[in-house]
Chain A
Amino acid sequence: MKFKVLANQFLNTINRLNYIVPASSTLPILTNIKFDLKGNNLTLQATDLEIFMSHTLSVNGERDGELIAPAKELLSLIRALSYHSEISIRVPDLSPEVVPDALLNSTVFSEKFKCDFAKKTILLSGIMTEDEKRELIELAGTDNLKSALEDLFEKQSREFSKISFNVSVDEKKRMMLKTVNGRYVLACSASDDFPGPQETDEFRKIEFKDTPLARYLGKIIHTVSSNEIKRNMTGVLFDIRKSELRFVGTDGFRLGKYTKTNFKLKNQQEEKFIVPLRTCNLIIRINKTGKSVLEYSDKHIKVTINSTVLYSKLIDERFPNYESVIPKDNDKKLKISKKDLKLALNRALVFTDPITKKVKMEIKNTSLILRSDNPEKGGESEETIDCSFIAEGAQEADFDTTPFIISFNAQYLVECINQIDTEDMILTFSTPSKASIAYPTEQAEYENYMELVMPVRVI
């Protein structure tokens, strides 16, 4: 096997695969990454037997081959090699006003670049690809910045030979990495025993073109339980229906439900399956932009995101009947500013007991009083927020004289608020011991998001 590869691509790929390479395993072979070169396509593969991930890179291939290399050593080596390339450039009029927020907030810029306003320089650590350069130049406001980025890229290209590797493997299965100044040899072995995914032909297919799958999962992932006692709740339920797609997560105390309404099943059965939490977390990590393809069979799913393919086992349990616990008779409706409530809750959290994190809400017609206390240590807090509270029904209830009182785990509420995109949010209640529902004032197009939170009871 012999090929030439760009350092940044190589690093990114191995970094990504390293998410699932187990640190220690009863099967030592799993701590390796499999290399498979065919023509100009290098496929890297890693697994922990639950999840299989493979990524295809385009390289300058010279000789085909297959082998496995130790992931930990490879990653540390390539990381250490990549950090050589730190380039800086001086921009005369660099100041916080010149650099647009969009540029500062973009993931590429925040990861790889640093602005030193005092010295008026931009620092690039790591490697900028041509795609990234194009993306950044679009975001950059002034011509000075644009040319600075161009210069940076050119400067980097001059050092390009240093940051691309010549990789070759000899008959003794030793992988040799060559840079301009160095030569590094890794002991590798044959790839014959490396476990691969079970390919079945029964995969059914759904494509996500406009919105990444990660967005749907990201909304509800915080509600998924990680406790092994309730194994059926340790994953996200994919509930595929004729005209909508639902994602549900729960840990027994709260339940997040996300519905995609612009969805049509073609010639397929309605199906339900539970995808493990770890797989979902991986999808969220990888699938930041772009389209993704979901394929599923009875026991496995396969997610293809750009050139990364992810196979995962499904959880072989029955998800609890979530529809039956969603209350339909919540008649009291609270409309409140999301920001105010979140900040108040964060303050109240300081004074809650560490176990239930109970905050007591005393809701009147136009105000909400948040109280928290810690009987063990003795602190307490109280805060009033403006809101509007109405009861739908026959008679108008007067909450000023008899306020509605309910207690929640503040942590659950904060995590729920984090997922709401609108400025205001709505909470509905029925009684102090029944579930309340939180949702945004306005749902995004073709989406429907809600979260159930169970209250805290004082015995």
Chain B
Amino acid sequence: MNEINISSGFFIPRENESSAQVFKRVRLMPLYSFPHIRDMNLSIGEFKNRYFMHLDFDAFFAQVEQRDCPALRGKPVSVGGYGKEKGIVMTASYEARKFGVETGMSVWEAKKLCPELLSVPCYGPKYESIMFNLLDILKSFVPDDCMEQYSIDECFIDVTSVVADFSQAHWLALAIKKKVKQEENLTVSIGCSYNKTYAKMATKFQKPDGLTIISPEDRNRIYSLPVEKIWGVGRRIARRLSVMNIITVGDLANSSVGSMRKEFGINGVILRKLARGEDTSLVHSKRPEPKSKSISHNHTLYENVYKENDVIKEIRKVCEYVGRKLRAKKLIAGYMGLVIRYEDLRYAGDKIKLIQYTNDDRILFEAAMVIFRKFPRPCIAYRARMFGLYTFDLQTDLRRENLELFDKRIYLPYYSIDKLKKKYGEKIIRIGIV
């Protein structure tokens, strides 16, 4: 049973699709993890008669894998990693969590804690599509612009427009849970409160398959929680807070603004406001996509390579990947850089100005090879384990190109090739070398 093989293959870029933002959000979570001062409405102290819900899938990836494979049900399962021992645990099922298996552990470590652990590979697109189904389900309950996807397995909804008090919110939450169970056969935990911070914290009270409501009167339940439970407070900030004698959320709420500001700056003030229930941020149904400043891709290999052909193949692969990412965003790059990490974890990297602004794989590859020739050459005693390519100085692709005198490069309709690949799979068309 240990050898469940779902080949995810080389990850397919989907920059131009809205789902790409899901992964980005997960990666950027610390940046967005708690509201910015700009998002807050400082003219009102705290929300009154506003109702927010926070939905969280329980052990999402593991739950999905257990749903799809009956053999995994009721057993300790971890998702992530590759093969038997490599990789990290991205999610552990509740059965595995009892053994102490946590997110972020290496699979090898987890196996020591729980020898029966079944490790299955992670398949991103599947989880994405389930999250989108959930959002679709939610559309039947609340208007479109009241939903905010917060990460790959969490979302906020503003239900003020459809409920009038907490008892109605309770019924709505139950209806949502029932519908999700019916349609997707998955369980979600829901927290409901009068601001986003409390709603998110409420979810944690009862898991899995829970429903918790925090009304302004139940504030003491939140206040008694340790301060780490509030978003934006991690290990380090918690340590600094404990020096100031702030152990629980209640302590934080009752601390003085001046001392928080002195210690943490504006973020301290925000944290204190969040703890007091004065989070006045709204759901962001759509964030404007910021303009990319650089586009890059790193690929760490399962097996280190040293043969020249293999190395060149890997470089070509990352070039193709980055070229495709650029084209998906309709951008052209002026500079590019190549990074190689060797097996002793040393880096070699350099950047170069391209002949002209481009998103052509071949020009990127040519430039990458110029850089590569300056690096220490991988050999059997010194293998390469990671290839990274980055491009910057990005401009909009106006589909104009200055012709070259000496390079009689045949024009390739890259945009159409990308479309074909997207529709019929990666192997439908390939660039041959004559």
Contact = CB atoms under 8 A, between A and B. Distances in A.
Contacts of B355: 227, 229-230, 252
A455 B332 CA distance: 19
Contacts of B399: 458-459
A409 B354 CA distance: 17
A292 B366 CA distance: 40
Tell which of B353, B405, B406, B407 has the most Cβ of chain A within 10 Å.
B405
A375 B400 CA distance: 11
A358 B404 contact: no
B396 interface: yes
B367 interface: yes
Contacts of B370: 228-229
Interface string A346-358: 0000000111101
A328 B407 CA distance: 19
B243 interface: no
Given A229-B370, A355-B395, A456-B401, A252 B406 contact: yes
Contacts of B356: 253, 355
B403 A456 contact: yes
Contact of A228 (B352, B400, B406): B352
Tell which of A325, A355, A376 has the most Cβ of chain B within 10 Å.
A355
Contact of A435 (B353, B354, B398, B405): B405
Contact of B402 (A230, A253, A325, A375): A253
B357 interface: yes
Nearest to B366: A229
A438 to B, nearest CB: 14
Contacts of B367: 229
A459 B411 contact: yes
A355 B406 contact: no
B329 to A, nearest CB: 14
Contacts of B395: 354-355
Contacts of A325: 405-406
Contacts of A456: 400-403
Contacts of B404: 252-253, 454
A353 B402 CA distance: 13
Interface SS, A side: loop
A14 to B, nearest CB: 33
Interface in A197-229: 227-229
Interface in A421-459: 433, 435, 452, 454-459
A65 interface: no
Contacts, number: 74
B353 A227 contact: yes
Interface string A321-347: 100010000000000000000000000
B402 A229 contact: no
A227 B399 CA distance: 23
A452 B405 contact: yes
A454 B402 contact: yes
A35 to B, nearest CB: 37
Contacts of B401: 356, 456-457, 459
Nearest to A226: B353
B405 A376 contact: no
A254 B405 contact: yes
A432 to B, nearest CB: 10
B68 to A, nearest CB: 44
A356 B405 contact: no
Given A228-B370, A253-B404, A356 B354 contact: no
Given A227-B353, A229-B352, A325-B405, A353 B366 contact: no
Contacts of A457: 400-403
A355 B407 contact: no
Interface string B135-173: 000000000000000000000000000000000000000
A274 interface: no
Given A355-B356, A456-B401, A458-B400, 7 more contacts: A227-B353, A250-B406, A252-B406, A354-B395, A454-B402, A459-B399, A459-B401
10 contacts: A252-B404, A253-B404, A255-B405, A320-B406, A355-B356, A375-B398, A376-B398, A409-B402, A433-B403, A455-B402
* A-B pairs with lowest CB-CB distance, top 4: A356-B400, A459-B399, A454-B403, A320-B406
Interface of A: 227-230, 250, 252-255, 320-321, 325, 353-356, 358, 375-376, 409, 433, 435, 452, 454-459
